[in-house]
Amino acid sequence: MPERVAILGVGLIGGSLALDLKERTGAEVIGYDRSGEDLHFAEAIGAIDEGKTDLEQAVKDADIIIIALPVEKIKQTIDSLCQLPLRRGCIVTDVGSTKSEIVERARKLKERGITFIGGHPMAGSHRSGIKAARSLLFENAYYVLTPEPDIPVSDVQRLSRLLYLATRAELVIMDPVHHDRIVGAISHLPHIIAAGLVNQVGDYNESNEWFHRLAAGGFRDLTRIGASHPIMWRDILLSNRTQLIRLLDDWIAQMSDFRKAVAERDAERIEFLFDRSRKLRRQLP
Ligand code: NAD
């Protein structure tokens, strides 16, 4: 049966999901955003059937609610949804880049008989907003769902089926804490490292502009993600704080290992560290 889907936040991720749902499922898609202009644009490109700037109006009668707002706003919106009359049997999910904090916050919805299944489509871009949205953005990417153990299997299957049909992504089920540790290591920590490196070289460049002029291939490749959205990344780091403190400690230990080897002219150790890295990098799928 075609579903009525409310997408809260019609930006890069929400807009792309909306396009996918409209193009490949029979779903009716209602968009909610603070920006009326973006909603008009989303309607014009056929991503949504109708746009609302009022949350209650947007989620009224929805079978599925997808919260595609910045992480901090996802938490606030879960609180707001607890106060609104939602359709019986409605499933709420989100697309936030962190999961433990959001899943914990959503326990309140469960107390109201509403199923919440955390989600994270693992594709995207450093661009933002509806104008950057595109159909099949998540094709062949992993799409992680983090249902709590007591969520009915039928609800997980219903949501997975709709998301697969729409996005052609590979749905995987994962514990929210494991998700945050893994994504912390492979995405959040690299964003911190890129930003740190760009800022360090930026400091040097203030007294000698050749630092930026000579910055080419390797520096540009490694720091591409250093140009990401500051507010989004502020929220992600604060939301994945526990994991990131551990990961940063491990990173500092890695750097200390390199520092010691260089300081002690330990050629064997330096070669070992790069050799290990080359082998591991080549094994990446
Ligand atoms: P975005 O900025 O492109 O879209 C966010 C949308 O939310 C915008 O349309 C904005 O107008 C709207 N919005 C923001 N604050 C609002 C508010 N207070 N009330 C109503 N609407 C509001 O951001 P995005 O990249 O689509 O990210 C959305 C979520 O997706 C984030 O939680 C992020 O962690 C997650 N995510 C992002 C990526 C990525 O690569 N960008 C990948 C996977 C998941």
Q: What is the pLDDT of residues 201-214, one digit of tens each?
A: 999 999 999 999 99
Structural domain boundaries, residue 166: 4-174
Whose Cα sits closest to atom 20 in ligand 1?
34
70 lines ligand 1 (CB under 6 A): yes
Alpha carbons 59 and 145: distance in angstroms, whole number: 21
Question: How far is the centre of ligand 1, averaged over its atoms, from the C-alpha of 15 (Å)?
Answer: 9
Question: Are residues 116 and 9 part of one domain?
Answer: yes
Identify whether the C-beta of residue 161 lies closer than 8 Å to the C-beta of residue 122. no
Which of 174, 206, 238 is where one domain is finished? 174
Question: Are residues 215 and 109 part of one domain?
Answer: no
Q: Which atom of ligand 1 is nearest to the CA of 33?
A: 21
The ipTM of this complex is 0.99
Question: Are residues 165 and 91 part of one domain?
Answer: yes
The domain that contains 147 carries what CATH number? 3.40.50.720
Which of 114, 145, 174 is where one domain is finished? 174
Alpha carbons 138 and 92: distance in angstroms, whole number: 20
Question: Are residues 152 and 15 part of one domain?
Answer: yes
Q: What is the pLDDT of residues 75-124, one digit of tens each?
A: 999 999 999 999 999 999 999 999 999 999 999 998 889 999 999 999 98
- Apex CA 223: angle with CA 221 and CA 225, to 5°? 105
Task: Give the model's pLDDT for residue 227.
Answer: 87
Question: Are residues 205 and 164 part of one domain?
Answer: no
Q: What is the pLDDT of residues 74-85, one digit of tens each?
A: 999 999 999 999
Question: How far is the centre of ligand 1, averaged over its atoms, from the C-alpha of 126 (Å)?
Answer: 11
pLDDT value at 2 more than 80: no
The domain that contains 270 carries what CATH number? 1.10.3660.10
Q: What is the pLDDT of residues 160-217, one digit of tens each?
A: 999 999 999 999 999 999 999 999 999 999 999 999 999 999 999 999 999 999 998 8
DSSP string, 208-272: -THHHHH--HHHHHHHGGGGS-HHHHHHHHHHTHHHHHHHHHHHHHHHHHHHHHHHTT-HHHHHH
71 lines ligand 1 (CB under 6 A): yes
Q: Which atom of ligand 1 is nearest to the CA of 53?
A: 20
Question: How far is the centre of ligand 1, averaged over its atoms, from the C-alpha of 12 (Å)?
Answer: 7
> Total domain count for the chain?
2
pLDDT value at 150 more than 90: yes
Question: Are residues 28 and 11 part of one domain?
Answer: yes
10 lines ligand 1 (CB under 6 A): yes
Question: Are residues 185 and 52 part of one domain?
Answer: no
Question: Are residues 219 and 165 part of one domain?
Answer: no
190 lines ligand 1 (CB under 6 A): no
Which of 117, 139, 174 is where one domain is finished? 174
The residue type found at 216 is A
169 lines ligand 1 (CB under 6 A): no
Q: Compute the average pLDDT of residues 60-68.
A: 97
E strand map for 111-183: 115-121, 142-146, 170-173
Q: What is the pLDDT of residues 234-267, one digit of tens each?
A: 999 999 999 999 999 999 999 999 999 999 999 9
Question: Are residues 117 and 11 part of one domain?
Answer: yes
If pLDDT is split at 50, 70 and 90, which confidence band does 228 have? confident
**Residue count (the chain):** 285
119 lines ligand 1 (CB under 6 A): no
Whose Cα sits closest to atom 16 in ligand 1?
34
Question: Are residues 142 and 236 part of one domain?
Answer: no
Whose CA is closest to 114, among 141, 151, 143, 167?
151
* Mean pLDDT score across all residues of the chain: 96
Whose Cα sits closest to atom 38 in ligand 1?
124
Q: CA of 280: how far to CAs of 183, 220, 272, 273, in Å?
A: 18, 22, 12, 11
For residue 136, what are the contacts with CB-CB under 8 A and spacing of at least 6? 20, 167, 168
Question: How far is the centre of ligand 1, averaged over its atoms, from the C-alpha of 252 (Å)?
Answer: 31
DSSP H helical segments within 25-152, as ranges? 36-44, 55-59, 71-82, 100-105, 107-111
Euclidean distance between the first and the last CA atom of the chain, given in angstroms as a whole number: 37
pLDDT value at 126 more than 90: no
Task: Give the model's pLDDT for residue 1.
Answer: 58
Question: Are residues 113 and 211 part of one domain?
Answer: no
Question: How far is the centre of ligand 1, averaged over its atoms, from the C-alpha of 263 (Å)?
Answer: 44
35 lines ligand 1 (CB under 6 A): yes
Q: Which atom of ligand 1 is nearest to the CA of 9?
A: 7
Question: Are residues 241 and 158 part of one domain?
Answer: no
